[in-house]
Amino acid sequence: MKKILVLTNLSYKAENAALYALKLAEKAGANIILYQSLDVPVYSGVHTDAESNEELEELQKDSLAQLANLAARLGKHQPSGQFKPAIEIFNEFGDLTVNVNHLINERAIDLIVMGAKNNAELSYLVFGETNAVLTGVKCPILFVPYKASYEGLNTVIYSSDLKKAYPKAVAFLTDLAKIDNSDIIVAHIGAAAKFDQNQCIDLFQQIFEYPNVTYKQLPNGSVSEQLERFAIEVEADLTVMIHHEHKLYGMPLPDNSTKMLEKQATPLLVLPD
């Protein structure tokens, strides 16, 4: 992992996610980009092009000033004598997912970090910016709840439907786990599936040569509720899920990763299918 993109709206909750990203970057030897996507304002009344452009410039300057202040505050948390991530700031107007996908390609982004809206309504998660990023961006996304702090990823739950191998997701998770020598628990909810759990364990241990992996089958039921209880039971530092996009008549439906965000207790890493 070399570059982490932190999406921020400059709120205090988003600042906590940025601090989490900074601490992870220190451990991983990565650099970070603090990024704000700006909405183009809709003007009422008569505005000349010159007036509109001037207001847009002021909005962008104000955003950059706040991003610079955020970077300065984060810099105070960097200990001396250790790897210090470079902190870059950037903003732009336009569609969030289009902008982020452009950055992923242009800047070789490995991970996106953003704050999670605690107790958010499911309708907001399905139709708001969260779902836009989940469905429109093909990059690992780490959602950090407010007050969550990075103290190392000692125990990681990887929720798998065991329908297939998901080698790209497993490869990313393995690289992430190596940062803290994490214990990975592969959790499957319900009865046995098409892809045998032993094959899943072998993928970690034999193909990607990561030995710290165990398996846990959880009772059938709500995936989000089962995972939430299990995360508390094992004191997990991170829950990992694969995002599966579902639609009805062209409209997005909540998948298990979206439902997990509704009442998220621990950081949630969502990996693209």
d(CA 254, CA 222): 13
How far lies 52's CA from each of 56, 99, 108, in Å?
Answer: 6, 21, 33
| 67 within domain boundaries | yes
Q: Which residue range forms the structural domain that includes residue 236?
A: 152-273
Dihedral angle sign, alpha carbons of residues 40, 99, 18, 242: positive
The pLDDT tens digits along the chain (273 residues) read 999 999 999 988 899 999 999 999 999 999 999 999 998 776 655 555 655 778 888 999 999 999 999 999 999 998 766 789 999 999 999 888 999 999 999 999 999 999 886 554 433 333 357 777 888 898 999 999 988 999 999 999 999 988 888 999 999 999 999 999 999 999 998 776 667 888 899 999 999 999 999 999 998 888 888 999 999 999 999 999 998 764 433 444 345 666 677 667 789 999 988
* Other Cβ atoms closer than 10 A to 158: 25
Number of domains making up the chain: 2
Shared-domain flag, residues 1 and 99: yes
Q: How far is CA 236 from the centre of its chain?
A: 16
- Which of 65, 100, 115 marks a domain boundary? 115
Measured distance between the N- and C-terminal CA atoms of the chain, rounded to whole angstroms: 19
Cα four-point dihedral sign 130, 134, 137, 139:
positive
Structure tokens at 169: 């997701």
Give the pLDDT score at 125.
Answer: 37
Q: By C-alpha distance, which of 137, 125, 184 is closest to 158?
A: 184
Asked whether residue 123 is domain-assigned, the answer is no
The structure tokens 């790209």 sit at: 168
Instruction: Supply the pLDDT for residue 46.
Output: 59
Q: Examine residue 122 and state whether it is found in any structural domain, yes or no.
A: no
* Alpha-helix residue ranges (DSSP H) falling in 108-166: 122-127, 129-136
- Predicted pLDDT at 44: 59
Compute the 3-state secondary structure of the chain and give helix, strand, coil in percent, each to the nearest 5: 40, 25, 35
Q: Is 120 inside a domain boundary?
A: no
Q: Among all chains, which residue has been given the structure tokens 């961006």? A: 137
pLDDT score recorded for residue 12: 86
Are residues 268 and 206 part of one domain?
yes
Q: Are 184 and 265 in contact (CB under 8 A)?
A: no
In angstroms and rounded to an integer, the radius of gyration of the C-alpha atoms of the chain is 20
Q: Is residue 51 part of a domain?
A: yes
User: Is the domain of 110 the same as that of 165?
Assistant: no
Domain membership flag for residue 135: no
Q: Which of 115, 134, 163 is the last residue of a domain?
A: 115
Predicted confidence at residue 236, as pLDDT, reads: 97
Q: 20 φ, ψ to 5°?
A: -60, -45
- In this prediction, residue 249 carries a pLDDT of 35
Q: Residue 188: phi, psi to the nearest 5?
A: -125, 135
Q: Which residue has the tokens 């207001």?
A: 55
Residue 85 within a domain: yes
Helix locations, the chain, DSSP H: 12-28, 49-75, 96-107, 122-127, 129-136, 167-180, 197-202, 223-234, 256-262
Are 101 and 210 in a shared domain?
A: no
- Is there a domain that residue 179 lies in? yes
- What's the pTM? 0.88
Task: State the CATH number of the domain containing residue 75.
Answer: 3.40.50.620
Q: CB within 8 A of 233, min separation 6: which ones?
A: none
Alpha-carbon distance 79 to 89, whole Å?
Answer: 21
